[in-house]
Structure 1
Amino acid sequence: MVARAMVTGAAGRIGRAVLALLAERGIEANALVLDDPGDLAARLVVTGDATDATAVRAALEGADAVIHLAAIPTPERNTAYEVFAGNSLATFTVLEEAGRAGIRHAAVASSWGVTGLPWTDAEDPHPPYAPVDEAMTSQVADPYGLSKQVDELTARMMARRHGMSVVCLRYPYVGGFEERLRAHAARLTADPAAGARDLWTYLEVRDAARAALLALDVPGRAAHAVHLCAPEIIVPYPTEELLRRFHPTTELRSPLPGRAAPVDTSAARRLLGFTAENLLDHEEVPPHRAGDGGQPRRGG
């Protein structure tokens, strides 16, 4: 049973939801943030970078679990060197210091970006099959996706090195309904091509936080990576029609009735007991009403 968790990136979208859920469940929180906004629901707030071992050690005071969320979340606003080096070193530092402190349970924010689909410019990317699962070969050609691949490899090494349980959570597009998701749904409903690289998946931020806490209960000394998303896509069109239109080379390995998400989340159900609970409401409409017929573009 976790008594106090250290949360990196605690002032971010998922970080704040995690702090709120920890407080709701009576679990103390330490926060590591680049800048203290002054309103975090944490017992201890440490200002510093997750790549700084001294700051991480300070933030781990009294903690018995870690939720590592801090990262540069896109390859588009920083240099490739900053994205790859910063993200990779942060995950290494947090898990190494946690392991040395005797902490044996960690959750790490991985990403749908680990598939390579969102940002690769090498070619027009299509998943080889759907539903996509954790075994699908990555098409990464960008520094962010590569950093998340390295994060997952780092988690495996740290599990062996320190005897830890580490769960890497492959988050899709995450947000609150009013703050982000409704506007995103409207954009993609008008132009479904814009969501093709993300396979029109999403996760409400409270579900993202709940998955992180569930990850801290996974026993054993191993690392795991699991896809997370809502069970239905964010646009009001049939999933199979969208796949035929925007990913014509993708093999459909099992039926996707209605708006079923084309991502297999059964590993998260088995490992975490997780199923998304907070869902957008849509009425399914015929695919000919869906925006223009342009090419897929990067998702959010």
Structure 2
Amino acid sequence: MNADVLPRVLVTGAEGLVGTAVVTALVSHGHPVTTLSRPDAAAHDDVRVVRGDATDPDAVREAVDGCDAVVHLAAYPNPWDHPAAEVFGNNTLATFATLWTAAEAGVRRFAVAGSVNATGLLMHPRKPLPERLPIDERTPARIADPYSLSKRVDEETLRAVCERFDASGVIFRLPLVVPPDRAEGLRAWVAERVADGPAEGWGWIDSRDAAEAFRLAITVPVEGAHVVQLAALTTMHDEPTEELIVRHAPGVERAREFAGTDAAVDVRRARELLGFVPRFDRPGIVEEED
């Protein structure tokens, strides 16, 4: 592919919270976009739409025809709304079928929606604390639910596809993704669950920042497969992070001190690999800052 030509991108899960922001970002930057959309999903404007399911290799094969890159977002978003076997089976099969089929068709660039839950800490029934703060891509896993397990397997799937097909890709460990128009309600929801925060470093990210990270992941040159943590640089809480740690994670080792409301999440890898720096440090900012 000519380096001056924008990649043609297949997006799965395009109608979801993250997917909508990703499609908007890609289209606004001039990328030709195809979505693999369920039959009942409302289509985005200015995209090619193929109806089907990400678990179906035939549907993926049709959708990825003519594409240079894949952004894979389709998944059940939690372990509660479906039986455990269905959550794990759907998520892992969708990732495998999409990435493997696309790679067989010649695609060599992938960006995948993973989750901070790949550590298992947040959804663990016994709520274990992380061994160290800030959390990062090396945080040890303690998985005890089907959703977190599916997200951990997705990381290995990306590695296997990149190894087999000499491809490259990034899977993002996404925290809570906050669209501007839902910020107030989500901030109240997070405030009620502040005690669970150590498991994800009290992290969150604006949906527009998440979309920009995915755009960079299919345009910035990388080699091989990479797991990358994403988060805003600050928490959603008014209380200083050091006080949150004392109250909710006493005794947890700290690799550094946290100033003000700094998120207890290390996002250096995203900056070093992709040049990504989150723009929004408060939920609900409507006007983009220069």
How many residue pairs match? The answer is 280
Q: Structure 1 length normalisation: TM-score? A: 0.89
Normalised by the length of structure 2, the TM-score is 0.92
Alignment of 1:202-221 (within 5 A): 202-221=204-223
2:179 is the alignment partner of 1:176: yes
Q: Give the SS at the match of 1:237.
A: coil
Once the two structures are superposed, residues 114-147 of structure 1 have per-residue CA deviations (whole angstroms, 9 ceiling, x without a partner) of: 11122111x2310110011111111111111111
- 2:79 corresponds in structure 1 to 75
Structure 1 position 95 matched with structure 2 position 99 = yes
The reply to whether residue 155 of structure 1 matches residue 158 of structure 2 is yes
- Give, in whole Å, the separation in 2 of the partners of 1:182 and 1:99: 41
CA drift at 1:195: 4.0
- What secondary structure sits across from 2:227 in the alignment? strand
1:87 & 1:94 partners in 2: Cα distance?
11
Q: 1: CA distance between counterparts of 2:241 and 2:278?
A: 18
Q: Which runs of 5+ in 1 are unaligned?
A: 283-300
Counterpart residue number, 1:128: 131
Match of 1:246 in 2: 248
**Residue 188 and residue 72 in structure 1: after superposition, are their counterparts in 2 closer, same or farther (change >3 A)?**
closer
Contact in 2 for aligned 1:71/1:86 (Cα 8 Å): yes
Measured on the aligned residues, the alpha-carbon RMSD in Å equals 1.7
Residues 1:19 and 1:44: Cα distance change in structure 2 (over 3 Å): same
Once residues 193 and 222 of structure 2 are traced to their aligned partners in structure 1, the CA distance between those partners, rounded to angstroms, is 44
2-side partners of 1:128 and 1:97: how far apart?
Answer: 38
How far apart in 1 are the matches of 2:196 and 2:268?
26
Pairwise mapping of residues 24-173 of structure 1 onto structure 2 (< 5 A)?
Answer: 24-121=28-125, 123-173=126-176
Q: Work out the CA distance in 1 between the residues paired with 2:43 and 2:131.
A: 45
Identity %: 41
Query: Does the 8 A contact of 2:73 with 2:112 survive in 1?
Result: yes
Q: Is 130-139 or 36-45 further displaced after alignment?
A: 36-45
C-alpha separation between the residues in 1 aligned to 2:31 and 2:144?
39
SS in 2 for 1:207: helix
Contact 2:136 2:229 in 1 (8 A): yes
- Residues 1:211 and 1:135: Cα distance change in structure 2 (over 3 Å): same
- Structure 1's consecutive aligned runs of 4 or more residues displaced over 6 angstroms after TM superposition are none
